[in-house]
Amino acid sequence: MDPLAHRPFVKMNGLGNEILVLDLRENPVEMTPAAARALARRHVLPFDQAMVLYPPKRADTVAFVRILNNDGSQSSACGNGTRCIAAYEAGRTGLSHMVFESAAGLLDCTVHPDGLVSVDMGAPRLDWADIPLSHDVGDTSAVPVPGFEALGPAAMASMGNPHATFFVPDAGKVDVDGLGAALEHHPLFPERANIAFASFPAPDHVLLHVWERGAGRTRACGTAACAAAVNAVRTGRAGRQTRITLPGGDLHIHWREHDRHVLMTGPVEHEFDGILSPGMLDETC
């Protein structure tokens, strides 16, 4: 029997980005890629990312978070998922400020009185080797992608995971599923990439549609929103404070000048609680 059987879970979402929260700080066990795939099946407990909480490694943090996509692959960052676990921890403890550890570094979170949650996502990584790309492309804010030149150059950045932002006339008319699936696995991206298509209804307003690495098309992606805001500033399309509209709703992104950190603010929603059964974790059921 899978060691996750009979463990409690919380189902949440950030702008429709479906998040599974597993708090394993007491009696921690591994969540395997197979377990993630089994749970994410459409008839079981579909999610985009699982945020798995483990005991903290530092005294000044509340938990170490491991992030798994619904295909079982691991991610270093998930902005909407981080806002969800911040709201979860606030509800559990009453804290309004907390710091999580992750593979991408420390995640400083604030839960506001109105229920909105802010996360300091840290500074973007903009060098080709840090994103990473397969080779030196020069200016990472304008990279032609072989085979997809008709889309125009993409702006590349890492927010703990790799992102490519394509600026298009109307993001709502792009074939996100077809182009996203192809571009995610392009040879330019040795660790695959999140693919976003952005257009501008107004100078401080970005319309964004996202194909997430390891999860497919999602209603929202916090790190993609952060990367799009950063890339919009880098290419002279927007200022440092931007409203990002995704299919699930709005995020407010502030790329601070003094420390280059990206602050993301938006709502979260608690859906339901439950207990993992052995059958939910069995891929053959």
Which residue in the list 78, 84, 109, 226 is annotated as catalytic? 78
Would residue 84 show up in a list of annotated catalytic residues for this protein?
no
205-212/194-202 β-pairing: antiparallel
Q: Which residues contact 148 (CB under 8 A, 6 or more apart)?
A: 179, 182, 183, 186
**What is d(CA 235, CA 225) in angstroms, rounded to the nearest whole number?**
15
Distances (CA, A) of 23 to 75, 90, 99, 139, 257: 17, 14, 15, 41, 35
Helices (H) and strands (E) in the chain, counts: 4, 17
Give the number of other CB atoms < 10 A from CB of residue 216.
17
Catalytic member of 84, 109, 221, 226: 221
Identify whether 28 is preceded by a cis peptide bond (ω within 30 of 0). no
**The token pair that represents 257 in the structure block:** 């000048």
Say whether 226 is catalytic: no
Q: At what angle do helices 222-234 and 79-93 cross, to 10 degrees?
A: 130
Report, as residue numbers or ranges, the catalytic residues: 78, 221
